[in-house]
A and B are shown apart, each in its own frame.
Chain A
Amino acid sequence: MSDPIPEMPTATEPARERTYLEAIREALGEEMARDERVFLLGEDIGVYGGAFQATDGLQARFGEERVLDTPLSETAIVGAAVGAAMMGMRPVAEMQFADFISCAFDILTNFAAKSRYRTGVGVPLVVRGPSGGGVHGGPFHSQNPEAYFAHTPGLKIVQPSTPHDAKGLLKAAIRDEDPVIFFEHKYLYRRVREVLPEEDYIVPIGKAAVKRAGRDLSILTYGAMVWTALDAARTLESEGIDTEILDLRTLFPLDEETILASVAKTNRALILHEATRTGGIGAEIAAVLSERCFEYLDAPLVRVTAPDTPVPFAPEMEAFFRPNAEKVCRAARALVAY
C-alpha cells in the first residue's frame, strides 16, 4: 500500500482542530513567546517532552534554560518556582502526575499560598499536572487532589474540561498575579478536540460556563465529569428530563453567582465530581447552596461522587468506583421525582 498523497495546501487553510493536550502545549508556547519571564520546569519535560508530551518540542524551540529538566523532586520544582516568582519570573511547574503534588504540599500551602498575605510578596506561579482516573493508573496515578488546595487561602484552583478552556484558562493562570494550581484531566488529553480561535484569548479564572441550558435540574460539575454529565443529559432528555449543566472551570474562587442563578432557576441541584466525597468540592458547593438559596431548593441536594476509598486498580473496580452517566441518570431521576 502506498503512502497517501498529501493534500495540496490551499490559500486559506481550514481551521485545525486541537486536542486538549495540544491546547495546553499551545498555551505554553504562546505565553513563552509573548513573555520572556515565562519558563517551564519539571521532570522529563525537556528532551522527552513530558510524560504526556504536554511540552513536546518546547525545549527545542526555547532552549534548556526556559524548559528546565529537574531532578525527581517536587519540593525543589515548586520551591524553585516560588523563588523565581519572587524575582519577577513567571514559572510554570509540571507535576508529572497530579498525585505527586502531595510531595510539594508544604511549599505550596505554606510558602506559596501565604507569601502575599504574610509579607506582601506575591508569587505568580502555575503548578500544572494531569489528574483524574479512567486510565487504570491505580491509587497513585489517578487521584483528584483539588480539595486539599481549595482549603488553602492564597491559592486558585482551576480544571478545564475542553481544549478551548484548557488553553484560555492556562493563559489566564500564567498571567495571574497569584499562585494557580491547574489540574488537567488526563482522560481528556487525547479524547476531546475542537477548533480554537486563531487570535489570543483567555478564559477568566473564577467564571463558570453553562454547558447546557435546562429547566428541571442543575448538574454542577467540572473536569472530565462535564462530559459524563452531557452524556447523561442526552439519556435524560429522551425521558423528558431537561438538564442544565454547569462547568465550574474554577474550583476556587467558586463562581457562586452562576451556580446560584442556575439552581434558582431549576430548584434542584446534583453535584457531580470524580474526587471522593467527604470534604470534596461538592461539600462546599452544597454549603453555599444551602446557605444562600435554601428557599429555592425543592429537593435535597444530591452528590454523585467517587466513594471514600483510594482509587482501585483493576479496570472493573475502577469503573465501579468512578461516577458515570448511568449513576448520574439514576440520581437525576430520583431528584426530579422527589
Chain B
Amino acid sequence: MSSALTPERKIDIYRLLRLNRSVEERLVHLYRQGKIVGGLYRSLGQEATSVGSAFALERGDILGPLIRNLGSVLAMGIAPREIFTQFLARGNSPTGGKEGILHFGRPEEGLVSPISMLGTLIPVMAGIALAGRMQGKNIVAMTFIGDGGTSTGPFHEGLNFAAVQRLPLVVVAENNGWAYSTPFRKQTAARSLADRAAGYGIPAETIDGNDVEAVYEASRRAVERARAGEGPTLLEAKTYRMKGHAEHDGQGYVPREELEDWSRRDPIDLYARALVATAVATPETLAKIDGRISEQIEQDVAHALASPAPTPENALTGVYAGGLPEFEPAIIRRDW
C-alpha cells in the first residue's frame, strides 16, 4: 500500500478532525445545560493523534481507545448519534445506559471498550492480537496510553508479553504533558516515553502528535510492521492537553505560557492551512465540510435528546449470559 495519501483521503482526515472537535464542542454545551451524565473529558488539541493513528487501520483491525480518543472512535466508523446517546445515558445508547462516555465496544466492529483503570487495555489488546494470530486473521490491534498510564503495571506487563510473543500490536503513547494535575516530570524519570521501548526490545518513534499526517505515517509504518509479523511498536505522540482533566477542572496548575504556545499549534488549524497551502482544498470547501458536520450534529443531538431514558429494572440484566440469581428470594416458612 502506498504511503501517499490521496486528496480524498486527506479530506477524510480533515472531516474526522473537525467531527471530533465539533462533537465535543456540542457535548460541552450539553454539559453546561446539565444534560450530560457524569464528567466530560475533552481531547481538545489532541485530535490529530487520535485520528491520524486510527486512520492507519484497515477493516478487521481492532482499536482499544481511551476516553480522550473520540477521534479514533469516529475513524472506526462509529456514528456521532451513538456518541450523544451514550453521553446522555439514554436507553438506546450503545450500552443501554449501563455505561457512559467512550466506554463501549463491539469487537466484531473493531472496537473494544476501555475500563477506567489505565494500562489494562494493553494486555487485553495483546490477547486480541494473539487470538487473531491463532485464528489465522492478519489483523492488527491498536491501543492508547497516556503519560500517566505508562506508570502502571499493566502497561509494562502487557507490552512485555506482546513483545515476547511478537504480537501485531501498536501502542500509541499520548504524551500530553499532564495526568490530571501531575506533570510529566513527576510521572517518570525517563526523558521520553519512547525510551521505555528499549526495555521491551521493541522499536519506538517519537512523533509530533499535532501533525496529523506525521501521526498517520508513523502509525502506518507500525501497522505494516505488525501485519508483517515483526511485533509491536510503541509510538510516542507529543501533544498537549488544552483543557483540564475534565470539564470541572479549571487546570489552574498549568502554566499559561504553555497553553499559549500550544494554542498556536492547534492540530486542526495546522491541517486546514496545510490543505489550503498544498491546494488539496480551498477555504470554501473546508467551510462547507464544517457546515455539513454542524447540521449533522444538530440532527444527532435532537435524536439523542428525544431518546428514551433507560428502564431502571434493566440494571438487573446482562451480568451473566444466563441471568442473575433471584435478588429477593422467598422466605421459607416452617409448618409448626
Contacts and interface: CB of A to CB of B under 8 A. Distances in A.
A265 B127 CA distance: 49
Among B124, B321, B329, max chain A CB count under 10 A is at: B124
Interface residues of B, number: 50
B221 to A, nearest CB: 24
B158 interface: yes
Interface string A271-302: 00000000000000000000111111000000
A75 B123 CA distance: 7
A128 interface: no
Contacts of B4: none
Contacts of A156: 320
B113 A118 contact: yes
B99 A65 contact: no
A326 to B, nearest CB: 33
Interface stretch (A46-54, A108-116, A140-148, A161-169): A108-116
A114 B120 CA distance: 13
Contacts of B103: 118-119
A79 B124 contact: yes
Contacts of A295: 332-334, 336
A82 B124 contact: yes
A89 interface: yes
Given A70-B161, A121-B113, A294-B331, A79 B319 contact: no
A107 B318 contact: no
A120 interface: yes
A39 B130 CA distance: 11
Contacts of B229: none
Contacts of B164: 70-71
Contact of A260 (B95, B154, B324, B332): B332
Given A75-B158, A116-B321, A87 B126 contact: no
B122 A79 contact: yes
A137 interface: no
B1 interface: no
A294 to B, nearest CB: 7
Interface string B294-312: 0000000000000000000
Contacts of B106: 119-121
Interface residues of A, number: 51
A83 B156 CA distance: 17
B287 interface: no
Given A107-B120, A111-B115, A117-B98, A83 B131 contact: yes
Interface string A81-123: 1111111110100000000000000110011001111111110
A87 B107 contact: yes
B217 interface: no
Among B120, B134, B157, B158, max chain A CB count under 10 A is at: B157
Contact of B126 (A79, A153, A294): A79
Contact of A79 (B104, B132, B141, B154): B154
Contacts of B132: 87
Nearest to B122: A79
Interface in B142-176: 153-154, 157-158, 160-161, 164
A118 B97 CA distance: 9
A29 interface: no
B322 interface: yes
A111 B129 CA distance: 17
Contacts of A73: 123, 157, 160-161
Given A79-B123, A292-B329, A177 B134 contact: no
B154 A84 contact: no
Given A86-B107, A295-B334, A116 B320 contact: yes
A79 B115 CA distance: 12
Interface string B83-112: 000000000001100110001111100001
A172 interface: no
Nearest to A206: B325
Interface in A207-238: none
Nearest to A261: B332
A253 B95 CA distance: 25
A56 interface: no
B136 to A, nearest CB: 11
A118 B98 contact: yes
A154 interface: yes
A80 B161 contact: yes
B160 A71 contact: yes
A87 B131 contact: yes
Given A87-B128, A119-B113, A292-B331, A79 B318 contact: no
14 contacts: A76-B160, A76-B161, A78-B123, A82-B124, A83-B131, A87-B131, A118-B95, A118-B104, A120-B106, A178-B322, A253-B325, A292-B330, A292-B331, A293-B332
The 9 closest A-B pairs by CB, nearest first: A83-B127, A79-B123, A80-B127, A177-B321, A87-B131, A76-B161, A295-B334, A84-B131, A83-B128
Interface of B: 94-95, 98-99, 103-107, 112-113, 115-117, 120, 122-132, 134-135, 141, 153-154, 157-158, 160-161, 164, 318-322, 324-325, 329-334, 336
Interface of A: 39, 65-66, 70-71, 73, 75-76, 78-89, 91, 106-107, 110-111, 114-122, 153-154, 156, 176-178, 253-254, 256, 260, 264, 291-296
Given A39-B134, A117-B318, A118-B98, 12 more contacts: A71-B157, A75-B123, A76-B126, A83-B124, A83-B131, A87-B107, A87-B127, A119-B95, A120-B318, A121-B107, A292-B330, A295-B332
